[in-house]
Amino acid sequence: MKILVISASYPPAHSGEATNTLFLCRHLAMQGIDVHVLTTRQNWGMKDLHITVHPIMDAWSWGEMPRLVAFLRGSAPDAVILMYLGLMYHYHPMITFVPAIAKRMFPRVPFVTRYENAFVGADPSRTSVMSRVFRKLMVCWAGTKDVAYSSGTLLRDSDHVIVLCERHRAMVVEEWPAVSGKTVLIPPPPNISVSPSHNGEARRRGREKLDIEKDEFVIAFLGYLYPLKGIDTLLAAFSQVRQQRPGVRLVFIGGKIELDVPGGETYYDKMRDLARELGIDDRIIWTGSFRPEEEEASLYLHASDIGVLPFIEGIQLNNSSFSSMAAHGLPMIVTQGRVLDPPFVHGENVFLCEPKDVNMVAHLIMQLIDQRALRDHLRVGIERFAHEWFAWDNAVARTLEVLKVNSTV
């Protein structure tokens, strides 16, 4: 059984979408699936057995459509998964017509689009006049009914659309209401290798690598650093905490993102400068990028006491940083945006606060520092949360069910 995964972002590229794709492919391969990945030229993969990487694409533009079509024809997959985020494909509309192309070539082959984020689709207005003319021709070829401006034929011609949180589901349904019946919620499980605790041995090793004393209290942030992550809020809150709880450390596990996120290029350096201005840089550890398939990041999380994710848009089930931290049983402080997925319950499995609320983040951190029983209570809740929503076995089983693929090959 052969599954083709199409993703512009794949290791060694540094982005959450690259690691999400890598771990999905690995877990599919563990089920006995013959996994092939069509990706961008520089993304040659991690030399995994049972995963064949085809790094043959460049800009994912109209000029490369013949190459993509030829690859599809030669590949002859039994099922196709398209990992979609407009940013990954430079907001170009070409990729949004791939479901229509695949269905013309292989009418009975399941085609599933997984929306990594529903906020940023294609933007034909960014392309040249000739590109927009070609898109109109493609619309005529694909059939004009229900072809959306930003998502092309993704919603209409995909057999199912996987969304990673309820807010994304609402957004794709708003764009094309008829897609409601074929959307499936499958939140992303951890996209790092989770090392076993071994009765505190992983914690000891992690603290040794970070050069952290046994009695120091460690706050962790996991993920790539760019403006929507709210790092400035965390730094300002940590500055307050440091004044009242001197034996505390802050660890940023992650580095710069390689996708062209607005402000992302300089944000990491700006946050380092801000930490120095606040006089707290001596209590902060910046680990930089890590290899998700290795144990380093997991050891750092085992070494930590709590996690804080002060996202500007609020926490959602699609945040793989959250699922990775939850897999380590970390009590967490997270922000609540305009829409909150039902599994998040304040005081039961997370502490919730408003985005950019420096004083509240500081207050909640000090509560968790001072009250071990409260940390233990949240740890029980987050472990239950992780088991119910972020288990890889469940996610892969549901993905294969959506693809109508039998994994016993």
Burial 176-185 (b: 16+ CB within 10 A, else e): beebeeebeb
Torsion of CA 29, 184, 117, 52, to 10 degrees: 20
Per-residue pLDDT band at 264 (split at 50, 70, 90): low
Taking the CA atoms of 218, 223, 225 and 226 in sequence, report the sign of the dihedral they define.
Answer: negative
What proportion of the chain, given as a percentage, has pLDDT over 70?
Answer: 97
pTM here? 0.92
Per-residue pLDDT band at 404 (split at 50, 70, 90): confident
Backbone angles phi, psi at 332, to 5 degrees: -135, 145
- Residue 247 and residue 183: Cα distance in Å, rounded? 48
- pLDDT confidence of residue 310: 98
Taking the CA atoms of 205, 210, 211 and 214 in sequence, report the sign of the dihedral they define.
Answer: negative
Question: Which CATH code fits 2-189+392-403?
Answer: 3.40.50.2000
- Residue 16 and residue 237: Cα distance in Å, rounded? 26
Check pLDDT > 80 for residue 405: no
What's 21-68 look like in SS3? HHHHHHHHHHCCCEEEEEEECCCCCCCCCCEEEEEEECCCCHHHHHHH
Q: By the 8 A CB rule, do 124 and 132 touch?
A: yes
Q: By the 8 A CB rule, do 68 and 85 touch?
A: no
pLDDT tens-digit readout, 15-53: 889 999 999 999 999 999 999 999 999 999 988 889 999
- pLDDT confidence of residue 49: 85
Q: By the 8 A CB rule, do 37 and 7 touch?
A: yes
* Two domains, one topology: 2-189+392-403 and 201-389: yes
Average pLDDT over residues 146-151: 93
Domain 201-389 has CATH 3.40.50.300: no
Average model confidence (pLDDT) across the chain: 94
Per-residue pLDDT band at 14 (split at 50, 70, 90): confident
pLDDT tens-digit readout, 351-375: 999 999 999 999 999 999 999 999 9
- pLDDT confidence of residue 36: 98
Q: By the 8 A CB rule, do 271 and 232 touch?
A: yes
Number of neighbouring beta carbons within 10 Å of residue 275? 22
Check pLDDT > 70 for residue 125: yes
Task: Check residue 6 and report its DSSP letter.
Answer: E
- Residue 289 and residue 223: Cα distance in Å, rounded? 9
- pLDDT confidence of residue 407: 46
Number of neighbouring beta carbons within 10 Å of residue 74? 8
pLDDT tens-digit readout, 154-183: 999 999 999 999 999 999 999 999 999 999
Tokens of 347: 């005081």
Taking the CA atoms of 312, 314, 318 and 319 in sequence, report the sign of the dihedral they define.
Answer: positive
- Residue 284 and residue 227: Cα distance in Å, rounded? 19
**CB under 8 Å to 4, separation ≥6 — which residues?**
36, 37, 38, 72, 75, 77, 79, 80, 81
pLDDT tens-digit readout, 61-88: 999 999 999 999 999 999 999 999 999 9
Domain boundaries, the chain: 2-189+392-403, 201-389
Task: Check residue 145 and report its DSSP letter.
Answer: T
